[in-house]
């Protein structure tokens, strides 16, 4: 089956620093990957759609300069939280879909970001 690897699983950073989260499709190519944010006991909130070789599409209200997305290859997308602040602390999850949709959407294991 399709596997998506997300790293790191947990990260603690100081306020004002930047953090990079990686999302890799291990056994399929993903022209499109998705980044979500989830607050405790709430639903997933789509932040942006990452397109290989082009600019990401951000959802309304998501600051593109704060959350930098790079999708440089068919198997790797990265989310960089720039100048992180405590309010950026959250659970971030990526997902990807194989081109044929045979496996549907596959999600990473998530990254717990804590900004102190």
Residue 7's CB: how many other CB atoms inside 10 A? 13
Report the length, in residues, of the chain: 116
78 binds another protein (CB under 8 A): no
Q: Which of 28, 67, 108, 115 binds another protein (CB under 8 A)?
A: 108
Let me know: does 50 contact 64? Beta carbons within 8 Å: no
106 binds another protein (CB under 8 A): yes
107 binds another protein (CB under 8 A): yes
Nearer CB in complex with another protein: 66/110: 110
8 binds another protein (CB under 8 A): no
Shortest approach of another protein to residue 88 CB, angstroms?
Answer: 18
Find how far residue 27's CA is from the centre of its chain. 18
Helices (H) and strands (E) in the chain, counts: 0, 11
């Amino acid at each position: 089956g399709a596997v998506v690897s997300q790293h790191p699983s947990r990260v603690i950073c100081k306020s004002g620093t930047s953090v990079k989260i990686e999302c890799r499709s291990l056994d399929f190519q993903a022209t499109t990957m998705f980044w979500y944010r989830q607050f405790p006991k709430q639903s997933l909130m789509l932040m942006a759609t990452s397109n290989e070789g082009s600019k990401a599409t951000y959802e309304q209200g998501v600051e593109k300069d704060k959350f930098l997305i790079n999708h440089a290859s068919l198997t790797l997308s990265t989310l960089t939280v720039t100048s992180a602040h405590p309010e950026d602390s959250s659970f971030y999850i990526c997902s990807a879909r194989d081109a044929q949709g045979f496996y549907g959407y596959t999600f990473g294991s998530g990254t717990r970001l804590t900004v102190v």
